[in-house]
Amino acid sequence: MSEFVKVCAVSEIPDPGKMTTEVDETMVVLFHLEGQFYCLDDVCTHDGGPLGEGELDGAQIACPRHGARFCVRSGEALTMPATQATVSHEVKVDDGQLYVKIKLT
Ligand code: FES
């Protein structure tokens, strides 16, 4: 079972903004949006595209490969060609630090 892992200071990610990093050997994208933080796998479910290199548009991230859009908050696939959600990980803030708990799948 995974535990929360300290990733960075909350001040390191602008609002709105994103940061790609590795947590517990999993590549993830952290998002800062309207004062909240979210964390998704850095993997598009269409064909493995690097979501962290995509464009952040409000609460959506667009895959840089073929343009599928995902909800930053839930990981839900919103547009073709992706049809399956990417993994969303639990995030918490404590004393100005951001922590992520990797969801094991
Ligand atoms: S790999 Fe992301 S849309 Fe195709």
- pLDDT by residue (tens digit) across 7-56? 999 999 999 999 999 999 999 999 999 999 999 999 999 999 999 999 99
Rounded distance between C-alpha atoms, residue 30 and residue 13, angstroms: 8
Cα 10–Cα 52–Cα 101 angle in degrees, nearest 5? 50
Instruction: Tell me the residue ranges of DSSP E strands in 2-65.
Output: 4-9, 17-23, 26-33, 36-41, 55-57, 60-62
4-101 carries CATH number 3.20.20.70: no
Measure 79 CA to ligand 1 centroid, in angstroms.
Answer: 10
Ligand 1 binding site (Cβ under 6 Å of any ligand atom): 44, 46-49, 63, 65-68, 81-82
Backbone Cα Rg of the chain: 13
What are the extents of the domains in the chain?
Answer: 4-101
pTM check: above 0.85:
yes
Measure 55 CA to ligand 1 centroid, in angstroms.
Answer: 13
Q: State whether residue 12 is helix, strand or coil.
A: helix
The confidence score (pLDDT) of residue 1 equals 64
